[in-house]
Homo-oligomer: A and B are copies of this chain.
Amino acid sequence: MAIAIGVDLGGSNLRIAAIRVADGALVAHHREPVGEPRDPDTIVRRLVAVIERMRAEAKLEAEAVVPVGIGLAAMLRDTAGTVANSPHLRWRDVPFGRLLAAALGGRARLGVYNDVNAIAYGEQVHGAARGVADVLLVFVGTGIGAGVIAGGRLVEGASSCAGELGHAKVVWGADAAPCACGGRGCVEAYIGGSYVQARARRELAAGARSIATRDTAIDAITPGDVDRAAAAGDAWALGLWAELAPLLGVTLANAIAVLNPARLVLGGGMLGRTQVLRAQVIAALHALAPAASLEPLTVADAILGDDAGLVGAALLADAGVSIIC
Which A residues contact B (CB, under 8 angstroms)? 75, 77, 84-85, 132-134, 146, 148, 150-151, 153, 155-165, 167-169, 172-173, 181-183, 185, 246, 250-251, 253-255, 257-262, 284, 288, 290-293, 295-297
Contact = CB atoms under 8 A, between A and B. Distances in A.
Specify how many copies of this chain sit in the oligomer. 2
A84 B153 CA distance: 26
Given A257-B168, A258-B146, A290 B250 contact: no
Contact of A262 (B155, B158, B288): B158
B158 A133 contact: yes
A162 B259 contact: yes
The A interface is mostly helix, strand or loop, or mixed, namely: loop
A257 B165 contact: yes
Contacts of A185: 288
A117 B293 CA distance: 15
B169 A250 contact: yes
A118 to B, nearest CB: 16
A254 B293 contact: no
Given A151-B155, A172-B250, A260 B181 contact: no
